[in-house]
Amino acid sequence: MAENSTACDVAIVGSGFAGSFIANELSKKGVKVVILEAGPRVKPNFNDYMKSFYEASSKVPESPYPPAVFDSKGNVIDPATVAVGRPSSLTLGASSWKDPKKAYLDQTGKRPFKSTYERLAGGTSHWMGLTPRLVPNDFRMKTTYGQGQSSFPFPDWPIDYETIRPYYEKAEAELGVAADVDEQRFCSISFSANYAYPMPRIPQSLFDQRVGQALAHLTDDETKFLGMGAPVTQLRVRSLPSARNSQPYRNRRACAGNTNCIPICPIQAKYDPTITLNEAMNGGARLITNAVASEILLQNDRVSGINYITYDPKSGAKTGTGLLKATVYVIAANGIETPRLLLMSKRQKPNGVANSSDMVGRHLMDHPQYLTWGLLPQPVFPYRGPLVTSAIGDLCDGPFRSQRAAFRISLGNEGWNSVVGGNAKFGSDPNVTTLDFVNGMNFSGLNSKAVSPAALFGADLTGALGDLISRQFRIAFPIEQSPNRDNRVTLSSVSDGLGLPRPQIAYDISDYTQRGFVAAVRMRKLIFKKLGATDFTARADNDPAGLDVMIDGRPEPLTYGGAGHVMGTYRMGADPKTSVVDSWQRSHDHPNLYLVGSGTFPTVGTANPTLTLSALALRTVEDIVLKLPSQKG
Tell me the pLDDT tens digit for each residue of 408-417. 999 999 999 8
Report the pLDDT value the prediction gives residue 609, as an integer from 0 to 100. Answer: 97
Which class for 180: exposed (0-12), middle (13-18), buried (19 or more C-beta within 10 A)?
Answer: middle
**pLDDT surpasses 60 at 349:** yes
Which class for 328: exposed (0-12), middle (13-18), buried (19 or more C-beta within 10 A)?
Answer: buried
Confidence band, pLDDT 50/70/90 cuts, at residue 43: low
**pLDDT surpasses 70 at 212:** yes
**pLDDT surpasses 90 at 540:** no
Sign of the CA dihedral running 502, 506, 512, 515: positive
Report the pLDDT value the prediction gives residue 66, as an integer from 0 to 100. Answer: 79
Confidence band, pLDDT 50/70/90 cuts, at residue 426: low
Q: Are 422 and 437 in contact (CB under 8 A)?
A: no
Q: What is the mean pLDDT of residues 200-205?
A: 96
Per DSSP, 135 falls in state P
Report the pLDDT value the prediction gives residue 121, as an integer from 0 to 100. Answer: 63
Report the pLDDT value the prediction gives residue 171, as an integer from 0 to 100. Answer: 98
Axis crossing angle, helix 458-469 with helix 431-439, rounded to the nearest 10: 150
Q: Please tell me the distance from the alpha carbon of residue 359 to that of residue 518, in angstroms, as a whole number.
A: 30
Q: How far, CA to CA in Å, does 137 sit from each of 185, 186, 399, 504?
A: 14, 12, 11, 32
Kind and range of the H or E run holding 371: strand 369-375
pLDDT tens per residue, range 555-589? 999 999 999 999 999 999 999 999 999 999 999 99
**How many other C-beta atoms can be found within 10 angstroms of the C-beta atom of residue 1?**
6
Kind of pairing, strands 546-551 and 534-535? unpaired
How far is it between the farthest Cα atoms of the chain? 83
Report the pLDDT value the prediction gives residue 184, as an integer from 0 to 100. Answer: 98
Residue-wise DSSP of 592-608: TEEE-SGGG-S---SS-
Report the pLDDT value the prediction gives residue 54, as an integer from 0 to 100. Answer: 80
Number of H helices and E strands in the chain, helices first, is 12, 20
Q: How far, CA to CA in Å, does 116 sit from each of 44, 325, 430?
A: 24, 31, 23
Report the pLDDT value the prediction gives residue 616, as an integer from 0 to 100. Answer: 98
**pLDDT surpasses 60 at 216:** yes
Query: Minimal CA–CA distance to 390: which of 237, 247, 259?
Result: 237
**pLDDT surpasses 60 at 122:** no
Q: How far, CA to CA in Å, does 434 sit from each of 161, 418, 463?
A: 48, 14, 12
**pLDDT surpasses 80 at 195:** yes
**pLDDT surpasses 80 at 202:** yes
Q: Please tell me the distance from the alpha carbon of residue 218 to that of residue 214, in angstroms, as a whole number.
A: 9
**pLDDT surpasses 60 at 424:** no
Instruction: Provide φ and ψ at 606, rounded to 5°.
Output: -130, 5
Q: Please tell me the distance from the alpha carbon of residue 576 to that of residue 448, in angstroms, as a whole number.
A: 61
Axis crossing angle, helix 274-282 with helix 17-28, rounded to the nearest 10: 30
Instruction: Please give the single-letter amino acid code of residue 320.
Output: G
Q: Are 277 and 287 in contact (CB under 8 A)?
A: yes
Report the pLDDT value the prediction gives residue 423, as an integer from 0 to 100. Answer: 60
Confidence band, pLDDT 50/70/90 cuts, at residue 444: confident
Report the pLDDT value the prediction gives residue 352, as an integer from 0 to 100. Answer: 98
**pLDDT surpasses 70 at 1:** no
Over its C-alpha atoms, the chain yields an Rg (Å, rounded) of 24
Query: Minimal CA–CA distance to 598: which of 606, 609, 588?
Result: 609
**CA angle, 125 as apex, 121 and 127 as ends, to 5°?**
130
Q: Please tell me the distance from the alpha carbon of residue 432 to that of residue 443, in angstroms, as a whole number.
A: 7
Confidence band, pLDDT 50/70/90 cuts, at residue 266: confident
**CA angle, 36 as apex, 33 and 38 as ends, to 5°?**
160
Q: What is the mean pLDDT of residues 375-384?
A: 95
